[in-house]
Structure 1
Amino acid sequence: MSEAKIKELRSDIDELNELMKQAKRKKVQDLLSLEIRKLETEWIKLKETENTSAAPMDVAPTTSTNVPVQNKRYQIKLNGYGWDQSDKYIKVFVTLKNVQSIPKEQVYCKLTDRSMELHVENLENKDYLLVINKLLEPISVEDSHWKQKTDMVVIFLAKSSPNKWSHVTQIEKKFEDQRNSRFKPDDMDTKDPQDSVMNLMRKMYETGDDEMKRMISKTMYESQHKKKTDVVADL
């Protein structure tokens, strides 16, 4: 059951990321970004629950080869991440396949008391960058750290005070407060992630341009058709 839900969440996240690439309006991009992070967080928590029996592994740097890389690298800016918190830390989870295979010095963070940048250099000939500005609360740079794990980087942002964070950034909190004042609380925060995605796309359809509307109509049609096919298969 949990494995099926993990796969379903991953499919929803991938589909929302595709919509993010097409979105042109700022409000639509903010809406998508917030929903992606919610689903990424749920996906990370389910993956961690599934892997509780596995002990955490320290990643040793791999031996670099003597063959120089000739291809030009290009940078990919990351938007999606999951997060969790304890009394001491805000934990940011960034999924990157095979990130455990590169030396530790190629994975690092630049931190201030209100921002973080994750840099991953030369992972399969690509550089990755995740920037999070305007953190909800100040952090302690000296007490923060990060770790490479299998297909994932975890950044431990040390809280300056043990307050519980409702969001990672001030912008997300402001955006969600505005959204909650416009929509009913249960419009998007349903128990079923698939229903949440469908409600989100309906809201986007109302505010999107012609290209966005065509893409959303196609996505919603395919999703509804898949549901009907699954029902018939179960009979």
Structure 2
Amino acid sequence: MSLEQLKADVAECVALLEQAKSARVKGALTQAKAEAEREIINLEIKARLAAERKAGAETKRYLHELTDYGWDQSPKFIKLFITLPGVQNCAEEAVTVNYTEHSLQLHVSDLNGKDFGLSVNNLLYGIDVEKSYRKLKTDMVAIYLKKVDEGQNWDVLTSIQKRLKQKQDSELSKDSDNPEGALVNIMKKMYNSGDSKTKQLIAKAWTESQDKARFGPETGGLGNLGDL
């Protein structure tokens, strides 16, 4: 689908949302709008990369997908911290973040001859796109997501993490005599039903949990599920 058509779809969703009264209809329209916005962002990133290649970059650059980051929160903001050595030397326009109400996409262009990208989808609650921003720090990109509801506590970062936690609590309550086995079953179900990115992140979390069992709690655990 073309960029123009996707933008037209977003505009139509916005217009219909203003008229919708049913919560179910509003939810469907909001989801359709978010999906169209994500497609727009992906097309824009691809177009920018294509333009850079066409301009005759001397070295072909590949997009390196980032999965590791830290996050914290204040009453007003969710804060993400992405470590990238030397990123403070990039031009301001080389580090962009595109936001939707429930997602963000970071793109870093030509950092030591490489491009980097990070996508975090299905944020637990809505963010204010206009008031969200990023800062370049020494060896780090800090992203500040403005909470729509100030003071609201996010116990996890994404809705998928929330569902996983709920499944975990439910399974553990059913099998209180064997909590480790119940947790293994949860991870298997999530892995088998997930997409490739979800499988990658669950595998990473599982490996870290095994390290934790062998070497102690400081090595990590199943709570670290990247941008799930």
TM-score (ref. length: structure 1): 0.50
Aligned 1:170-209 pairs, distance under 5 A: 170-183=159-172, 203=184
What is the distance in 2 between the residues matched to 1:203 and 1:97? 36
Which of 67, 84, 87 aligns to 1:79? It is 67
Question: What is the aligned residue count?
Answer: 136
Q: Secondary structure at the match of 1:164?
A: coil
| Residue 69 of structure 1: how far off its partner (Å) | 5.6
Partner of 2:144: 156
In structure 2, stretches of 5+ residues that fail to align are: 1-55, 192-205, 217-228
- Alpha-carbon shift at residue 181 of structure 1 (Å): 2.3
SS in 2 for 1:155: strand
The one-letter amino acid of 1:167's match is V
Q: Distance in 2 between matches of 1:182 and 1:95?
A: 35
Report deviation, 1:130: 0.7
Distance 1:180 1:77 in 2: 31
Q: Does residue 127 of the first structure (1) align with residue 120 of the second (2)?
A: no
Look up the match of 1:142.
130
- Alignment-derived partner of residue 36 in structure 2: none
> How does the TM-score come out when normalised to structure 2?
0.52
Q: Is residue 2:91 matched to residue 1:103? A: yes
- How much does 1:203 deviate? 4.0
Matches within 5 A, 1:209-220: none
Identity %: 37
Question: SS of the residue aligned with 1:143?
Answer: strand
Name the amino acid aligned to 2:112. E
How far apart in 2 are the matches of 1:77 and 1:128?
A: 6
Point out which structure has higher relative CO (alpha carbons under 8 A, 6+ apart): 1
Letter in 1 for 2:113: N
Return the letter of the residue paired with 1:91. K
**Cα drift, residue 182 of structure 1:** 2.4
1:176 & 1:77 partners in 2: Cα distance?
25
Question: Are residue 167 (structure 1) and residue 156 (structure 2) matched?
Answer: yes
Following the alignment from structure 2 to structure 1, what is the Cα–Cα distance between the partners of residues 116 and 130? 23
| Letter matched to residue 66 of structure 2 | L
Q: Which consecutive aligned stretches of 4+ in structure 1 deviate over 2 angstroms post-superposition? A: 180-184
The alignment's C-alpha RMSD in Å is: 3.3
1:166-196 Cα offsets, whole Å, 9 max, x none, are 1111111111211222247xx9xxxxxxxxx
Deviations 1:65-123 (A, max 9, x none): xxx96221000111121110001100011111111111111111001111111111111
